Amino acid sequence: MVSKGYSKPQRSPNSPPEEREAYEESLKYYRDLKNVVDTSREEGREEEKVEIAKAMKKNGEPIEKIMTYTGLTEEEIKAL
């Protein structure tokens, strides 16, 4: 969901060709921006999982518990 300062473009069904083209360009920009935001959020979540796993591993938590809390695989945790 993109919210800060940009909303999904709206289009009238009877728009002239120039407005339809502008609408399509605006819609493409909106989708591109939304994809960037969604990707950034997902990358942030993954980085957070790794940081949590590192802290748990450092504190001597069992790998099974780290796997449960972070969703990381045993191989990913051992590689930290």
pLDDT at 2: 47
pLDDT grade, residue 21 (50/70/90)? confident
Q: Is 0.85 surpassed by the pTM of this model?
A: no
| Rounded CA separation 53/61 (Å) | 9
What is the pLDDT at residue 64? 96
